Homo-oligomer: A and B are copies of this chain.
C-alpha cells in the first residue's frame, strides 16, 4: 500500500526539490499551492508545471486573500521589494505565511487521510524568517497532532522539512541527483508572466549563488535586462 503525502509547492527551487524527495520516498503526492495575492503570479504556473512533470495524484490551488491583512512587500503594493536586504527580518516576509499554508495543508491531509506533509522551509538561507526554524516546525507538528481527527484517533502526523539545514548549493546538488528540472521552477520575487527572473532581488541572488556553489550550470531564464 502506498502512503499519501501533501506537499506545499510554490513553483520555486526548494519546494520542487522537496516534491521530488517525497516521490523518491514512495509517497503518493498531492501538491498544494496558494493564490494569496502574491506579486509573482508566475509561480502558480510554475507550480502547476512542476506538479505535472512529477506526475502527482492531484494539484490544488487554494485562493486566499492575504493582501487583506497586508504587511509584506510580497502582497502589499505599497511596500517595495528591495534589491538588497538589510539585516533582521526582511520586508518580503509574509506574516504567518508558513503557518497559514501548513494549516491548510493539514486540512487537506485530513480530508485525504494523509499522515505526512512536506514543506521546503530552510533555516540556512532564510535565517531572517522566524517560521523557517526547526523549533517552529516541531511546534507546528505538535499542535497539528492535537488539532485533527487523525491526531485524536492516534495516527501521528509528521511534518517533513528535509531542506531545513541545507544550503542552497546542497539543495540543488540533491535535486539534480534525483532528476529535478530546475528550468521550469521560478524563484524570483518579481518574475514576469513567462517566469523570467529579475536577477537582482534577494531570492534571485540566493538562487544564482546556489548554482555557483553547487558547481552547476544555472538554467534560470532571466529577463533581458538582468
A55-72 residues with Cβ-Cβ distance < 8 A to B are: 60-66, 68-71
Main secondary structure of the interface of A (DSSP, over half): helix
Within 8 A of B (CB), among A62-90: 62-66, 68-71, 89
Of A21-29, A104-112, A207-215, which stretch is located at the interface? A104-112
Is the C-beta of A149 less than 8 angstroms from some C-beta in chain B?
Answer: yes
Query: A162: which B residues are within 8 A, CB to CB?
Result: none
* Count of chain A residues with a beta carbon within 8 Å of a chain B beta carbon: 44
A96 — nearest CB in chain B belongs to which residue? B107
For the complex, give the distance between the alpha carbons of A143 and B100 in Å.
12
When chains A and B are docked, how far (Å) is the Cα of A89 from the Cα of B148? 10
Q: 8 Å CB contacts to B: which residues of A14-43?
A: none
> Which residues in B have their C-beta under 8 angstroms from that of A147?
96, 98-99, 130-131, 136, 139-140
Q: Given the interface contacts A110-B71, A149-B93, A149-B130, does A143 sit within 8 Å of B63 by beta carbon?
A: no
Residue in B69, B107, B110, B111 whose beta carbon sits within 8 Å of that of A107 in the complex: B69
Complex CA distance for A104 and B71, rounded to whole angstroms: 12
Complex CA distance for A147 and B143, rounded to whole angstroms: 12
A98 partner residues in chain B, CB cutoff 8 A: 147
A contact residues vs B (CB 8 Å cutoff): 60-66, 68-71, 89, 93-100, 102-104, 106-108, 110-111, 130-131, 133, 135-136, 139-140, 142-144, 146-149, 151-152
Sampled A-B contacts (27; CB under 8 Å): A60-B68, A62-B65, A63-B65, A64-B65, A66-B107, A69-B104, A69-B108, A69-B111, A71-B111, A89-B149, A95-B106, A95-B108, A96-B103, A96-B104, A96-B107, A96-B110, A96-B147, A99-B107, A100-B104, A130-B146, A130-B147, A130-B148, A130-B149, A139-B142, A139-B147, A140-B147, A142-B142
